[in-house]
Chain A
Amino acid sequence: RKEVEQDPGPFNVPEGATVAFNCTYSNSASQSFFWYRQDCRKEPKLLMSVYSSGNEDGRFTAQLNRASQYISLLIRDSKLSDSATYLCVVNRRDSGYALNFGKGTSLLVTP
């Protein structure tokens, strides 16, 4: 089983739609969870951390289910500028701050 698994998509949605991405991770001892965004051929950028209680940042909501080892990202009122690849990220086993990245889910928001 891969350490971090995501549906690669692509997800094609119209502007204004709500879209959700899911991710599963294999290391039950993981403590740190993030969503990153990567635009084509650019560096990944931190979108938000994911907390056990769930957290929201504007149009973005992240949820963590430790029992199922499952993370989600919800984007409301999609904008054209949200088109990107969304990376699910979990800290590596026994390696403190080093992180494992999923392969990403591609989102295309269309007019």
Chain B
Amino acid sequence: NAGVMQNPRHLVRRRGQEARLRCSPMKGHSHVYWYRQLPEEGLKFMVYLQKENIIDESGMPKERFSAEFPKEGPSILRIQQVVRGDSAAYFCASSPEQENYGYTFGSGTRLTVV
């Protein structure tokens, strides 16, 4: 049973480009969460999704950031017109429905904006 799969592991973008980060949850998990970790900082909640639904996006910056979790395929975190301050590690986690025994995290995508 594969764990949470994130790709790419490393992503380099120039300022103004778009970044697309992908996350495939563990098999049988229907809840996906995205977190951002800036250098030397803690994990900050961004968004919580279920299939085809955004449950809580209170941690998402108001502009340039969006997330989806379609019926088929991975969850996508999209950052438009990236800026240097977007450089961070982005972690995705998943959990099963109707359980709260903690999440399983993917290995993360390290985004560098140059």
Contacts and interface: CB of A to CB of B under 8 A. Distances in A.
Interface of A: 31-32, 34, 36, 41-46, 49, 87, 89, 91-92, 95-104
A43 B91 contact: yes
A44 B95 CA distance: 14
Nearest to A43: B105
A103 B43 CA distance: 7
A44 B91 contact: yes
- Which secondary structure characterizes the binding site on chain A? loop
B1 interface: no
Q: Give the one of A31, A92, A99 with max B CB within 10 A.
A: A99
Given A44-B105, A104-B42, A32 B100 contact: yes
A97 B48 contact: yes
B35 A101 contact: yes
Interface residues of B, number: 24
Interface string B1-35: 00000000000000000000000000000010101
B43 A44 contact: yes
A19 to B, nearest CB: 20
Contacts of B35: 101
Contacts of B91: 43-44
Nearest to B99: A97
B4 to A, nearest CB: 8
A95 B104 contact: no
Nearest to A6: B42
Contacts of A87: 42-43
Interface in B64-114: 89, 91, 95, 100-108
A41 B101 CA distance: 24
